[in-house]
Amino acid sequence: MTTTLIAQLNYHTGNVVGNTEKLFSITSSAGKLGSDLVIFGRYAVCGLLEKDPVLAGDFFNLCLKGLSDLAAQVKGISVIVGSVLLDQGSLSEVIYLITPDQQLRELIRIPAFVSEESEKCAVFNISGLRVALLLQRTKQADTALPNSCHVPDNTDLLIVLGKSQHRCSEELAFLGTPTITAKTKTLIYLNMVGGYTSHVFSGGSIVSATHSTHKLALWKEDIMLLDLTGLETTARPASIKVPCSATSAYGNDDYEITPKTVTNYLKSNWKESAPEHSTASAHSSSAHEFTYQGLMLAIRDFIHKNSFAGAVLGLSGGIDSALVAAITTDAIGAENVHTFMLPTRYTSRSSIEDAKECAERLGIMHTVISIEETFCTCTRSLQSLLSAQNSSGVVEENIQSRIRGMFLMAVSNGTNLLLLATGNKSELLTGYMTLYGDTCGGFAPLKSIYKTKVYDLVNWRNHNIPYLSKCKKLDIVPTSVIDKPPSAELRFNQKDQDTLPEYDRLDRMLKLLLDERLSKEGVVHRGFTKEEVDLVEHLVKRSLFKLNQVAPGPIVY
């Protein structure tokens, strides 16, 4: 029998020392539990990289030292672990095997930053079992598993190291698993978990054996112990303590990865076998919940991994900032969120009250400070210049937004709170934003969320408490915020639709033009007028220079 520990962990990009400390802590505990093999995910030593590291030389040296130190500390156990190295001037992703006699063996090497990965397969023996290792081919869940022709015959254990941002556990259960497991007795799909700036990984790793399937949790670190023989695979829970210096959890305490339940699935019909309530919460999710949970994880990890104390944002009384405030409170707790309402003469009384009510429901700190005097001072100072240029009211509108951005950035600088930009994808694509105004911030959580999806997420959250939420309340966004016509309130009686098409039509056109890459003629054939399609195309083209300067944000599905 071979005892294998699967570690679905959240790594910290660039924190090689902390990651290595976590790997050693878990490997050491696994050895005490009688493990023969420990499987870590991709980029375990270095954390996921989205581009070449800035201080590349020192970084690669640290990665090599971390691997060497880990190999030197591990004895009598095999460890699969991912890292990177510099290969002829280019970054490569590498999967290593640390052998029981402390040797470091390279299993797979591929170029980093490629969406389509080659079907490289490493085959080796561990404790008498024939093991095959492959990497997930793309980030898409429906192509996560390798083609069956690439899986060697007569394999006891097939390990697929993944990086799916989709609902991989649910998808994999229906997409080819029986075909793959016909060539192997046990399949382990180990997915990444955690937020890495624009990438968010859901976890939900899966183990499929002859008579059963087991899942690891979504949205958090999890471990599983497997007892493998030539005939069957059984899973059992385990508890491992991880030092706080190595954790990505929001907080400063040591913590335990404790899978209290191991969910078993019968392969004959892929139906759940009456799990505990907490297990159902950890595994199942609707489309809106999945998106919401991804945004929570993205915000929490970005704040923690960049050493911020919490978050600050402008709460305008509109639905976008209300959603960002809600997600952030769910992610890091009300005590770590501070919002500001910064009104001028154009701000309606209802917006001031709506923002206050939303903050009270969330339990977050909220401050109202008028910027009218500052706005008047700026416009007076610029009056002669603006008059000479015959400028339109847009200049005064943008001044208000930029004063707010300046104020919030000052708060961020003075408190070590991350400023969150609250713009949504519809606004960003069409340029309905003020550069260096409402685009100010270090992170833009709604960057990939269309306006219509914003409403869907708010309505979902008002009726549901997310898994792992730190805000156990319902109806946190007032109905008045949801029902009011969208407005930037930078002039009297202003509405978004003075400038933009109705959001339901705008979002459909944007999806067709940008996501599905249809021509203008193709979009018109879908039921839109040529005039409105021309308008949307014009708005997108005109504002591309602004889009390239927006803060980073998570890509969620």
CATH of the domain at 80: 3.60.110.10
The answer to whether position 535 is within a domain reads yes
Q: In this model, does residue 425 exceed pLDDT 50?
A: yes
The tally of domains found in the chain comes to: 2
Residues 302-306 have a mean pLDDT of 98
The answer to whether position 555 is within a domain reads no
pLDDT digits (tens, 9 = 90+) for 346-392: 999 999 999 999 999 999 999 999 999 999 999 999 887 776 555 56
Q: Which one of 266, 284, 302 terminates a domain?
A: 284
Residues 339 and 466 in one domain: yes
Q: Which one of 245, 260, 284 terminates a domain?
A: 284
Q: What is the pLDDT of residue 237?
A: 61
Residues 54 and 195 in one domain: yes
Residues 247 and 297 in one domain: no
pLDDT digits (tens, 9 = 90+) for 182-222: 778 899 999 999 999 999 999 999 998 877 788 999 999 99
Residues 99 and 246 in one domain: yes
The answer to whether position 437 is within a domain reads yes
The Cα-based distances of 290 to 68, 180, 283, 331, 382 in angstroms read 38, 27, 10, 14, 48
The answer to whether position 193 is within a domain reads yes
CATH number at residue 440: 3.40.50.620
Q: In terms of residue numbers, what domain contains 126?
A: 2-284
Q: What is the pLDDT of residue 165?
A: 86
Alpha-carbon distance of 302 to 299, in angstroms, equals: 5
Residues 347 and 238 in one domain: no
The answer to whether position 537 is within a domain reads yes
Structure tokens belonging to residue 461: 């959250």
Residues 185 and 269 in one domain: yes
Q: What is the pLDDT of residue 37?
A: 96
Q: Which one of 284, 301, 332 terminates a domain?
A: 284
Phi/psi at 433 (nearest 5 deg)? -160, 165
Of 22, 140, 6, 7, residue with least CA distance to 70: 22
Residues 279 and 419 in one domain: no
Residues 299 and 280 in one domain: no
Instruction: For residue 276, name the pLDDT band (cuts at 50, 70, 90).
Output: very low
Residues 297 and 280 in one domain: no
| CB-based contact 197:210 (threshold 8 Å) | no
The answer to whether position 557 is within a domain reads no
Q: What is the pLDDT of residue 265?
A: 29
Q: What is the pLDDT of residue 272?
A: 31
The answer to whether position 50 is within a domain reads yes
Residues 214 and 314 in one domain: no
With tokens 């790594």, the residue in question is 11
Phi/psi at 18 (nearest 5 deg)? -65, -40
Instruction: Tell me which DSSP letter residue 466 carries.
Output: -
Return all residues near 186 (Cβ < 8 A) that are at least 6 apart. 156, 157, 158, 207, 208, 209, 210, 226, 228, 233
Residues 206 and 244 in one domain: yes
- Max mean pLDDT among 31-35, 168-172, 522-526 falls in 522-526
Q: What is the pLDDT of residue 127?
A: 87
Residues 271 and 392 in one domain: no
Phi/psi at 84 (nearest 5 deg)? -135, 160
Instruction: Kindly give the pairing relationship between strand 104-111 and strand 417-419.
Output: unpaired
The answer to whether position 554 is within a domain reads no
Q: Which long-range contacts (CB under 8 A, 24 or more apart) does 397-402 make?
A: 397/434, 397/488, 397/490, 397/491, 398/434, 398/437, 398/490, 399/375, 400/344, 400/346, 400/371, 400/375, 400/437, 400/490, 401/434, 401/437, 401/438, 401/488, 401/490, 402/434, 402/436, 402/437
Instruction: Kindly give the pairing relationship between strand 155-161 and strand 129-135.
Output: parallel
Q: What is the pLDDT of residue 144?
A: 54
